[in-house]
Amino acid sequence: MTVYFKDQYLEDLYDNMQRGKPRYNQEVVRKFRERVNFLIEAKNTGEVRAMKSLHFEQLSGDKSGLYSMRINKYFRLEFSIDKEVTIQIEEVIIIHKLSNHYK
């Protein structure tokens, strides 16, 4: 699956580029990265649901539309699933620079 981050701090945390005082201890950070990697490697949410230890569930109330899975006994990863987006990758383009060719 493709994973995007809505929160820049979490993206930096995943990429090991956190700045300042850490919000979470190293064990939580390690498990967070493991869970994100698991989501990336999973083919679909069915694989995530099959791992009962993750306690994958749909949230309700003021968090309606979100899902969660266990990081550890105290922390949960909350996320949404965009079912309307289909991604087909044919080539990958990596932009390095915008230059003035004729200057």
pTM for this prediction:
0.77
Cα–Cα distance for residue pair 58/4, rounded to 1 Å: 19
pLDDT of residue 34: 94
Number of domains in the chain: 1
Task: Give the domain CATH number at 77.
Answer: 3.30.2310.20
Can you list the residues of the chain whose pLDDT is less than 70? 83-103
Domain range enclosing 36: 1-103
pLDDT of residue 50: 93
pLDDT of residue 23: 84
Tell me, what amino acid is at 53? Answer: S
